[in-house]
Amino acid sequence: MESDDPRARLLELADTKGVSLAQLSRLIGKNPSYLQQFVRKRSPRKLEETDRATLARYFGVAETELGAPKENSYDQPSSAPDDEWIEVPRLDLGASAGPGALSSAEARFDGFRFSRRWLRGQGLEAARLSAIAVTGDSMEPTLRDGDEILVDTRPRPLRDGIHVVRLDDMLLVKRVEVGRPGRIALLSDNAAYRPIDCDAAELAVIGRVVWKSGRI
């Protein structure tokens, strides 16, 4: 169902997740006041398709809740047979496993097909998954340059594990460590790279890495 008021829904989702509109603006590669103007001044009149898709994945909701027409939603009908194949979107960006990649354009350009039954067995929801390529060598040997990773964007309490995060407009794939209150450590599996220590409020967690593919 298409949302009648995507601005109100965006505010509700932001409040529930405890993030500001400025943080969400940075998440989609815009200046900090961008979504504030969208909500308060109705400028722009509607979210760009790629921005809307990024926010929907971040919050784990259908794009229709943020103003997308129903036909543009990647939601899958729950009544579909177990043996049906589900296409997960591949996004035209790279999550840096090196010094950090600037990513302002996030757009679907292709897809991976997964068995609905396999996804369900893994506890994954197709509508909240996306695939991106890894760039760089800081997560070797776990993740190599060019590997494709499946990112689960469902909102959940942050715990240790490999995540895709955005820090200072850099999209990174790192091993997250949440041991200290208010602080998060971003660790590389490659010992040549030093840990990154940051304030939890400075970090936007895009999703947890749940699967990888790559050349042998």
Q: What is the pLDDT of residues 52-93, one digit of tens each?
A: 888 887 887 888 888 887 644 444 444 444 457 888 888 876
Lowest-confidence region among 24-33, 103-112, 138-147? 103-112
Question: pLDDT value at position 67?
Answer: 87
Of 169, 168, 175, 170, nearest to 149 (Cα)?
A: 175
Q: Note the pLDDT tens digit of each residue in 177-200.
A: 987 888 999 999 999 999 999 998
Name the residue with higher pLDDT: 115 or 74: 115
96 pLDDT above the threshold of 80: no
Global pTM reads 0.58
**Residue 117 vs residues 71, 86, 88, 134, 150: alpha-carbon distances, Å:** 24, 9, 14, 26, 16
- DSSP tag of 40: H
**Residue 87, pLDDT score:** 84
Q: What is the mean pLDDT of residues 157-178?
A: 89
pLDDT at 107: 62
Q: Indicate the length of the chain as a whole number.
A: 216
Token pair belonging to 72: 């543009």
Q: Please report the domains of the chain, with CATH numbers, ordered by start residue.
A: 6-72 (1.10.260.40), 85-213 (2.10.109.10)
Decide if pLDDT at 38 tops 50: yes
